Chain A
Amino acid sequence: MSLVEIRGLSKKYGDNVVLDKVDLDIEQGEVVAIIGPSGTGKSTLLRCLNLLEKPEEGTVKFDGVSFDLTKRNKKDTLALRQYTEMVFQQFNLFRQKTALENVMEGLRVVKKCSKSEAEKIALDELEKVGMSDRLYHYPRHLSGGQQQRVAIARALAMNPTLLLMDEPTSALDPELVSEVLVTIRKAAEDGNTILLVTHEMSFVKSVANKIVFLENGKIVEYGTPRDIFENPSSERLKEFLAHINMLEGAEYVI
């Protein structure tokens, strides 16, 4: 049994099918990267898993506990969200709170930790992402990369079964990307299970255990970085990799 089992996940916007019966298994400690052209439902897949989007069909099993994603009562939704945490493209830190308060918020309000307990966990997580010298900085005082590191600390502090990362470096200035990638790599090495949407192909290649190539709401290919980048079997994946210049030994270069 896998740690996370996604079955038959389907999402439509009107007549536009965004996700078409997606099945995906994620093992404990794995980093699974989702790649693919824009508008193919990569972010939607992540957002369906914590019900920020409401899918038409699908179930997900976390650690053996099964959830019907079409059931929308508040209790189930809150229970489901305990299993995942999300890191957003736009960081989405709470603007009225300091870095420390941002990380403590979920621990205090959702997990009902005592103040000292929450503070201890938060300080620990902020230390790990290298932000312990900026505990009292508000988001507006921080650069994009620093904000994203705090956001990662906020997510990891909740000790999620699955960490969802939705293009965590896409909104960053180029020189800030690497500090966030280093943080993500560290989170992966610490044994966190991560489902990651990204366009940073060389990063995916070195960090991910499995790669999902998603197109038009379907998983076109699934495999290890070696399978995907060195032996793409479908024409579409070859085309995509050629397009982003990642196909090893491509016959043509754009």
Chain B
Amino acid sequence: MTKLFDLQLVFSSIPELLKYLPTTLFLTVIAAIIGLLLGLVIAVIRMKNIPVLSQLAVAFVSVMRGTPIIVQLYISYFGIPILLQYINYYRGTEYNINAIPGIVFAMVALGLNQSAFDSETIRAALQSVDKGQIEAAKSLGMSNGQVLRRIILPEAITVALPSLGNSLIALIKGTSLAFTCSVVEITAAGKILAGRNYRFFESYCSLAIIYWVLTFALEKVVAAIEKRLQVPEQPRQVKERDAILSKM
């Protein structure tokens, strides 16, 4: 009987899979950035209750949260080319649909999906900053942009960080579905490699290890940032040198 489970292969195929890790990471980073920026825009639109845009934002978030990510990836993969064909037809342009790499569709779908979830987190975090600090900042003469950048965001980030870290972890794992847009990231690579020797189980085990190590590292990074941003438990005392400085 041949070996049912080849433990050695689980580890020996990891280096081969890691060659595709940059694709996974690139996809994650771009989708996370799209998600954060668009999420912030949606959050602000909903907080300011801007007519029309606010209703559109609510509908968008509802649809994005109410449909599976794999369906969204398919819609992006097939929908964007159709949209471009329409544009080509009506505007007389000549965009080459086949020239668009699959990863773009995956970035769009994952980024939009991410923005829907992030927008709720960001909105809750922004609203948690108490009005008093905002009034104080305005009284000092800060513009709305300065108040947002200097006062609201620094505090809102500490509130939002744990949830955003969660959603980033979900996103990393979500990129494993990008093969639906013909993107070869590590999961797709695992399947392809396993196709050579039919050792699918071993390949999936290797993938599980890689994803787990990746998210474990990410958890640590998020925790470290959280600790850094937190107001320290104990205040730093004024040293003598500072006291002299203050007398100058």
Pairwise interchain contact B236-A92, C-beta atoms closer than 8 A: no
Minimum C-beta distance from B127 to chain A (A): 15
Select B243's contact among A86, A105, A132, beta carbons within 8 Å. Answer: A132
Taking a contact as CB atoms under 8 Å apart, the answer to whether A52 and B139 are in contact is: yes
Task: Give the chain A neighbours of B151 by CB distance below 8 A.
Answer: 94
A137, CB-defined interface residue at 8 Å: yes
Interface residues of A in 132-150 (CB under 8 A from B): 132-138, 140-141
A88 touches B231 (CB 8 A): no
Q: Are A86 and B231 in contact (CB under 8 A)?
A: no
Q: Which residues in window 205-239 of B have CB below 8 A to A? A: 229, 231-232, 234-238
Q: Is the CB of B132 within 8 A of A92?
A: yes
**Does A50 reach chain B (CB closer than 8 Å)?**
yes
By secondary structure, the B interface counts as helix
Contact B141 A94 (CB under 8 A): no
The docked-state distance in angstroms from the alpha carbon of A92 to that of B132 is 5
In the complex, number of A-B residue pairs with CB atoms less than 8 Å apart: 89
Interface residue count on the A side (C-beta < 8 Å): 38
Chain A proximity of B135: nearest CB distance (Å): 6
Q: Check if B79 is an interface residue, CB within 8 A of chain A.
A: no
* Whole-angstrom distance between the Cβ of A73 and the nearest chain B Cβ: 12
Residue of B with least CB distance to A97: B154
A96 near B242 with CB under 8 A, answer no
Contact of B235 among A96, A132, A134 (CB under 8 A): A134
**Which stretch (B47-55, B92-100, B142-150, B191-199) binds chain A?**
B142-150
Residues of B within 8 A of A52 (CB): 135, 138-139
Pick the residue among A78, A88, A126 that contacts B135 (CB under 8 A). A88
Tell me the B150-202 residues at the A interface (CB within 8 Å): 150-151, 154-155, 158
Residues of B within 8 A of A74 (CB): 143-144
* Contact assessment for B133 and A132 in the assembled complex, using a CB-CB cutoff below 8 Å: no
B138 & A81 in contact (Cβ 8 Å cutoff): yes
**A105 in complex: contacting residue of B140, B235, B245, CB < 8 Å:** B140
> Does the CB pair A110–B245 fall under 8 Å?
no
Which residues of B sit under 8 angstroms from A105, Cβ to Cβ?
A: 137, 140, 150
Neighbouring A residues of B142 by C-beta, 8 Å = 106, 109-110
List B contacts of A154 (CB < 8 A).
136, 140
Q: Say yes or no for A40: interface residue by CB 8 A criterion.
A: no
Interface string of A54-84 (1 = CB under 8 A from B): 0000000000000000000010001001101
Supposing A134-B235, A135-B238, A136-B235 touch, asked if A96 and B155 sit within 8 A by C-beta, the answer is yes
A78 touches B141 (CB 8 A): yes
* Closest beta carbon of chain A to B195's beta carbon, Å: 53
Contact of A82 among B138, B141, B158 (CB under 8 A): B141
CA distance A74 to B135 in the complex (A): 15
Contact with B along A100-124 (1 / 0, CB 8 A): 0000011001100000000010010
| B236 and A110 contacting across the interface, CB-CB below 8 Å | no
A5 at the interface (CB under 8 A from B): no
Question: Quick check: A141 and B235 within 8 Å, CB to CB?
Answer: yes
> Considering the chains assembled together, what is the distance between the CA atoms of A6 and B104 in angstroms?
60
B246 located at the interface, meaning its Cβ lies under 8 Å from any Cβ of chain A in the complex = yes
Given contacts A94-B151, A95-B231, A96-B155, contact A135 B242 (CB under 8 A): yes
Contacts of A134 in B (CB 8 A): 235, 238
- Contact between B146 and A123, CB atoms less than 8 A apart: no
- Please determine whether B140 and A158 come into contact, CB atoms closer than 8 angstroms: yes
Q: Enumerate chain B residues within 8 angstroms of A94, measured Cβ to Cβ.
A: 133, 136-137, 151
**A78 touching B150 by the CB < 8 A rule?**
no
Residues of A within 8 A of B231 (CB): 95-96, 138, 140
B158 touches A86 (CB 8 A): no
A207: shortest Cβ distance to chain B, in Å?
A: 22
Closest to B151 in A: A94
Establish whether residues B235 and A88, one from each chain, have CB atoms under 8 Å apart when the complex forms: no
Nearest A residue to B242 via CB reads: A135
Contacts A137-B235, A141-B235 given: A96-B246 contact, CB under 8 Å?
no
Sample of 4 more A-B contacts, CB < 8 Å, known A105-B150, A110-B142: A95-B155, A106-B141, A140-B231, A151-B136
Q: List 25 A-B contacts (CB under 8 A).
A: A74-B143, A74-B144, A81-B139, A81-B141, A85-B139, A88-B136, A90-B132, A91-B132, A92-B136, A93-B133, A96-B154, A105-B140, A106-B141, A110-B142, A123-B245, A132-B238, A132-B243, A134-B238, A135-B238, A136-B237, A136-B238, A141-B234, A141-B235, A154-B140, A158-B141
**10 cross-chain pairs, A with B, having the tightest CB-CB distances, nearest first:** A92-B132, A106-B140, A92-B136, A136-B236, A137-B235, A86-B139, A81-B141, A141-B235, A110-B141, A123-B246
| B interface residues, Cβ below 8 angstroms from A | 132-133, 135-144, 146, 150-151, 154-155, 158, 229, 231-232, 234-238, 242-243, 245-246, 248
